[in-house]
A and B are shown apart, each in its own frame.
Chain A
């Protein structure tokens, strides 16, 4: 399984766009990139998943360059409620249960 590396923590202010980059140099051809969000005292929640280029949903955007060795989760105009830990995972599309969670990025949004 591809190993991922992401910053341990990030700080932001309300209204700013936040970009969290994840590096996965040994991503395999069949691997997808998935991001989860976890609030304190809750289980992780699926945010977005992609294979290449750009994916956007109502919550976030995911940018994946052509070489796929990294990906960037973009959260537009964050609010205090976006304070959470964000996990980047890499693996086969329909095998979510085999994905390995790393330490994640703890995002702190300040007023």
Chain B
């Protein structure tokens, strides 16, 4: 079974440019998460979706970050404009919310962003 797929794996952009990351969760997982991970730190939640609804976006910097999960499957995270401090790894995760849910998160490999 395929895991969580993210693209691109690496992205280098100039500051003030836009960037977008894409995530395809595990089939059947209704909950999708975007995390940000700085070097040497643990992942920090940016936004959580239950199906197509963003149920927790309190940590998402809404002035420059946006996310969408159309049809409750794939999701896109966008930054516009990017700043130097946005250089980090952006992780997508999904989980199964039905009966037997243990809360286990399945993470993708991440998208590493470098802003110059």
Q: Interface digits, B22-56 against A, CB 8 Å rule (1 contact, 0 not)?
A: 00000000010100000011111100100000001
Query: Quick one: which of A32, A34, A95, A97 has the most chain B CB within 10 A?
Result: A97
B36 CB, nearest partner CB in chain A, Å:
11
Whether the Cβ atoms of A96 and B107 lie closer than 8 Å is no
Please judge, given known A-B contacts A102-B42, A103-B41, A103-B42, whether A94 and B107 are in contact too, CB under 8 Å: no
Tell me the total A-B contact number using a CB cutoff of 8 A.
63
A65 to B31, CA, bound (A): 32
Whether the Cβ atoms of B103 and A95 lie closer than 8 Å is yes
A104 to B114, CA, bound (A): 23
Contact-residue size bin, chain A (C-beta under 8 Å from the other chain): 20 to 34
How many chain B residues touch A (Cβ–Cβ < 8 Å)?
26
Judge if A13 is at the interface, Cβ distance under 8 Å: no
Whether the Cβ atoms of A43 and B109 lie closer than 8 Å is yes
CB neighbours of A43 from chain B (8 A)? 4, 43, 91, 93, 107-110
Judge if A42 is at the interface, Cβ distance under 8 Å: yes
Whether the Cβ atoms of B102 and A44 lie closer than 8 Å is no
List B residues at the A interface (Cβ < 8 Å): 4, 31, 33, 40-45, 48, 56, 91, 93, 95, 97, 101-110, 112
